[in-house]
Amino acid sequence: MTGRARHDRSSAQPRQSLERIIVLGTALVAAAHFALFVYFLFRTAIYSPISDSFTYIDVYLQYRAGEMSLPVYLWRAHGEHHLVWIRLLTWADVEIFHTRSIPFIAAATAAIVATAALVWLQLRQAEPKLGAPTCLGLLAPMLILSTANVTDCSVPINTTYPFTVFFTVLALVLFAGAGRRTSDASYRRLAAMLSALGASMGTAAGLLAWPILFWIAWRERLNRGWLATLAGVGIVYSLFYARGLYLLGLQPALHKDPASFISPTHLYGVSYYFFAFLGLPLTRAPTFGLIGPTVGVALFLVGLSAALIATFSNRLNTRLDRIAIGMILLAFGSAALAAVGRSDLIDGLKIPVRYTMFATALQVGLLCIILPRALPYFGRPQARILLCATGFMLAILLLIMQVFIGRSAAQIATVIARDADCYAQGVQAGPVSAVVTHYPEDAEKVLAALRKQGLLAPRSRDCTIR
């Protein structure tokens, strides 16, 4: 062995050791991040009915009393949505757990963890020989399992969103790159279509899965039979889905005259809501001011560029790219639906943090496009260390955000949980919080019916009026 070879080998060992240390540090930060998700899941859990939960339970009690059939109960519209998964979970919660919200929390948590695992596996499979830098793939599940999304699992009325995102991502994974002649290609695509149905049974935003799947089929040059099937089933199902819906969010817009609808003030409000939606969770932090919407604009421009490149060129044409663009389109579509349907209902400066699940799809989609393309440029040992260090710093940043957002969510949820528990027990000092219910008389009737039928478990909360 020559002197230079020995020197190169001896100098490479410290670099490899440093790289391993950084990779281990990133893994430990990710583990801490996931542990905090679990911790704040319990800290923010609300076990008593609030808000729309009273409506869910009231409809279930009508079904239980024989006033409607099972199909009618499951397909009963709630505003703009058909909440089939919520109907099933309400049955389990009332009958098995006596209204403690356990099925909602467990099912939504399983959905969001499964989404994180699906995305992480796609990243791992896309670049299996990258070695240590694949630890950067942990950034994707870290973005998904954030405390900004934890209340979509711990608050029953928010649990619709993890189902929509999970089934949409599952549909993308099953459909993209299924192959042309493989024996299981057709089965994978049919399973993807079933997943698309499942997405819409979480929220109406799940209907976006159909045009996204059509786009993937078109870009993968599938035969006309598949294109016609996707278009036909998607259109027919969407029309069927729309029957009987009450478009609550569109009522203010529908009552506007054309001049008011296209006025600069209204268009600004809709546009602001759209970009603020994409900028979640930063949008909800008062200290950040306009940073959230500005980040939303930047992410939109990058995501739009990626979607246009993938649509009108042969670039961004890998299986992972199709999945990533699908997630980006889901975020754009959800933001557009919310901007049109919700911007007139509430203060545009208060975008509900529960929508962060959809904004996360945009962030993760961009990561899935950028990461595999950035890694080949960092093949040299020194460059690999720089890349791993960058990933480590990003993981640290996400961990810091995990703590601060989680603490804020826990403080708010603790107050709501106490008010909800005390209200369920019938011990309430003064008027009930509007967060618990806007309609106290209707809510009290539901609670009375639950007590009468022995379906309301006692709460251990101390609600002594001091």
Which SS3 state, helix, strand or coil, does residue 33 take? Answer: helix
Distances (CA, A) of 83 to 39, 200, 272, 359: 28, 8, 28, 21
Residue 137 is predicted with a pLDDT of: 86
What is the full per-residue pLDDT of the chain (466 aa) written as tens digits?
555 545 445 555 666 677 788 888 999 999 999 999 999 999 999 999 999 999 999 999 999 999 999 999 999 999 889 999 999 999 999 999 999 999 999 999 999 999 999 999 998 887 654 444 457 889 999 999 999 999 999 999 999 999 999 999 999 999 998 765 566 888 999 999 999 999 999 999 999 999 999 999 999 999 999 999 999 999 999 999 998 887 766 666 666 667 766 778 778 888 888 999 999 888 876 666 678 889 999 999 999 999 999 999 988 889 999 999 999 999 999 999 888 877 665 554 578 889 999 999 999 999 999 988 887 777 677 777 888 888 899 999 999 999 999 999 999 999 999 999 999 988 776 678 888 998 999 999 999 999 999 999 887 777 765 4
Is the bond preceding residue 281 a cis peptide, omega within 30 degrees? yes
Between CA 126 and CA 142 the distance in angstroms is 19
Residue 366 is predicted with a pLDDT of: 96
Between CA 74 and CA 81 the distance in angstroms is 12
Between CA 254 and CA 244 the distance in angstroms is 17
Distances (CA, A) of 74 to 67, 209, 442: 13, 21, 21
Strand partners, 81: 78
| Domain map (residue ranges) of the chain | 18-157+379-466
DSSP letter for each residue of 374-404: HGGGG-SHHHHHHHHHHHHHHHHHHHHHHHH
DSSP letter for each residue of 62-105: HHHTTSS-HHHHHT-EETTEE-HHHHHHHHHHHHTSSS--HHHH
Taking the complete model, does pTM exceed 0.85, yes or no? yes
Q: What is the pLDDT of residues 331-354, one digit of tens each?
A: 999 999 888 877 665 554 578 889
CA end-to-end span of the chain, whole Å?
A: 83
Between CA 457 and CA 48 the distance in angstroms is 9
Evaluated on CA atoms 183, 213, 215, 308, the torsion sign reads negative
Q: What is the pLDDT of residues 264-289, one digit of tens each?
A: 877 888 888 899 999 988 887 666 66
Hey, which bits of 175-237 come out as E strands? none
Which SS3 state, helix, strand or coil, does residue 50 take? Answer: coil
Q: Is 88 left (phi over 0), alpha (psi -120 to 50) or beta?
A: alpha
Half-sphere exposure for 443 (CA within 13 Å, toward CB): 21
